[in-house]
Every structure is written in structure tokens, then in C-alpha cells.
Amino acid sequence: MAPEKAARLHELAMRTGRDAAQMVEEAVDRLLEDDAQFRAAVREGFEAIDRGDFIEEEEMDARIARMLGT
């Protein structure tokens, strides 16, 4: 880790009364969970496409235009 980042992490840990290593572990846990959710959403999207469950770009543009009143 770059010294500047380590210093900022240490400062944050001191301000919040938490352990820096624990904060890093929690951040990694959140990153991994976010990545898993993103990958699941992408898989779900591809499955919808495979089923033909989607609309064409022109229809989406029309829907957005109606929503915006343009």
C-alpha cells in the first residue's frame, strides 16, 4: 500500500476508534459482495436476452421520451 494511503487509513482508524486492519477487511468484504451482486445481475440480464425477454433500443428510447414528456 502506498504510504499516503496507509497514513490516511491510519488517520481514519484513529478518528473512528477502529482497527485499520479490520476496516480493510470490511472494505474487501463489501467489494467482493458488490462484485458478486454485479456478476449475478449481468448473468440475469444475459439469461433474459437468451429468453428473448427484452425490448429493442427504439422502444426504450420511445419510453424514455414519453417519461420525460419530450
d(CA 38, CA 57): 22
pLDDT at 70: 81
* CB distance 23 to 5 below 8 Å: no
List pLDDT tens digits, range 16-50: 999 999 999 999 999 999 999 999 999 999 999 99
DSSP 5-20: HHHHHHHHHHHHT--H
Q: Could you tell me how far CA 62 lies from the centroid of its own chain?
A: 28
Question: Residue 54: its pLDDT value, please?
Answer: 87
pLDDT digits (tens, 9 = 90+) for 45-70: 999 999 999 889 999 999 999 999 88
pTM score, whole prediction: 0.67
Angle made by CA atoms 68, 69, 70, in degrees to the nearest 5: 95
Mean pLDDT score across all residues of the chain = 95
